[in-house]
């Protein structure tokens, strides 16, 4: 009987370890008194880790798809703390937290969010354009596998070479191609409703705008970049790029403990590696003597610190400084 009870206990432990939240990880992080606080994020309540891995769609870029590295002057007089939302308060896109829903399209969201910000910044905060994640996910064949992951560098190459139409959040029909998948709450009762238990199939590529859109034709609605480039794995170079031109897309490795992030400066302490993820960086700062990057995620505002998180800066933590890409937008 004792043997049966032991086997049952082990089985229960294995199941709980593969379902979020993992209370052992949350308790361990908070007992360490490290630079961040862990807690349950309702965005993933009762989700299997395998389901969550499906949302981590930043794939390792093949050598032939790598972008040229931008040559830039590394500014030496940058402020200790910088937040693009404060520097450009009239840019509405900087205040948004999008939701990739049940689709491994983080590679596309990190890109179009930064593109949208850069258009507003370059226009002197006049243009409130949103670039379409829908168009990028469904039509960029060279970017990877749509909802099953993609290459952030290729997203910026596609923006330069082919262009992308406007597109906002789910059902924002005042844009050409809004996102087809609605925000969702995983296995819980929330304001968005439940997500499906599996990743959505990649939407079909369409060359028309939604029927309610009264803007330009599909071809005339497209926006482009003059160039697409990477930034050296150099803290000062990345800060200079953000300060001078706006948001950048960054890729990094996600570990299980990040899922429980609530506040503070994240640094990996425990838990298994889950996969690659792409997000938008909008600034930097220092908190209690610890340097950080300010990051906007695409898991809606119910995750983390109202959808954002801070991650250790200056040591390429989780690879956050080795996969930075961006481009120069062309204004109409």
- Tell me, what's the pLDDT at 50? 87
Average pLDDT, the chain: 91
* Residue of 300, 310, 305, 235 whose CA lies nearest to 265: 310
Domain ranges of the chain: 34-330
Active-site annotation, residues = 106, 277, 297
Bond before 157 cis per omega within 30 degrees: no
pLDDT, tens digit, 9 for 90 and up, residues 11-68? 333 334 688 888 999 999 999 999 999 999 877 877 888 888 988 999 999 999 999 9
Q: Name the 3-class secondary structure at 279.
A: strand
**pLDDT for position 185:** 60
In tens, the pLDDT along 126-153 reads: 999 999 999 999 999 999 999 999 999 9
Among 175, 165, 163, 170, which residue's Cα sits nearest to residue 210? Answer: 175
Q: Which two tokens stand for residue 282?
A: 């909008």
Third-level CATH fold of 34-330: Cathepsin B; Chain A (3.90.70)
Considering the entire predicted model, what is its pTM?
A: 0.92
Strand ranges in 93-183 using DSSP code E only, listed in sequence order: none
Give the span between the Cα atoms of 317 and 29, in whole angstroms: 17
Query: Do the beta carbons of residue 109 and residue 299 sit within 8 Å?
Result: no
| Reduced 3-state DSSP string for 212-234 | CCCCCCHHHHCEEEEEEEEECCC
């Amino acid at each position: 009987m004792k043997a049966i009870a032991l086997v049952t206990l082990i089985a229960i432990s294995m199941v709980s370890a593969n379902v979020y939240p993992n209370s052992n990880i949350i308790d361990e992080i908070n007992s360490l008194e490290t630079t961040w606080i862990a807690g349950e994020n309702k965005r993933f309540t009762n989700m299997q880790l395998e389901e969550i891995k499906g949302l981590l769609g930043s794939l390792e870029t093949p050598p032939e798809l790598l972008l040229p590295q931008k040559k830039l002057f590394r500014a030496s007089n940058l402020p200790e703390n910088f937040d693009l939302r404060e520097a450009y308060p009239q840019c509405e896109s900087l205040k948004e937290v999008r939701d990739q829903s049940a689709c491994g399209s983080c590679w596309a969201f990190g890109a179009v969010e930064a593109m949208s910000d850069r258009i507003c910044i370059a226009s002197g905060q006049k243009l409130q354009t949103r670039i379409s994640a829908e168009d990028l996910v469904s039509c960029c064949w060279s970017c990877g596998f749509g909802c099953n992951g993609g290459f952030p560098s290729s997203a910026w190459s596609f923006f330069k070479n082919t262009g992308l139409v406007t597109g906002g959040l789910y059902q924002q029909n005042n844009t050409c191609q809004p996102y087809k998948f609605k925000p969702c709450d995983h296995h819980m009762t929330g304001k968005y409703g439940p997500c499906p238990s599996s990743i959505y199939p990649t939407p079909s590529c369409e060359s028309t705008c939604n029927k309610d859109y009264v803007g330009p034709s599909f071809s005339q609605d497209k926006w482009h970049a003059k160039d697409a480039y990477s930034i050296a794995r150099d803290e000062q170079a990345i800060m200079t790029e953000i300060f001078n031109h706006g948001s950048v897309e960054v890729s990094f490795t996600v570990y299980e403990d990040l899922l429980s992030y609530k506040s503070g400066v994240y640094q990996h302490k425990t838990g298994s590696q889950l996969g690659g993820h792409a997000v938008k960086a909008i600034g930097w700062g220092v908190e209690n003597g610890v340097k950080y990057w300010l990051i906007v995620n695409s898991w809606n505002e119910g995750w983390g610190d109202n959808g954002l998180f801070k991650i250790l800066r200056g040591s390429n933590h989780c690879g956050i400084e080795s996969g930075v890409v961006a481009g120069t937008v062309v204004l109409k």
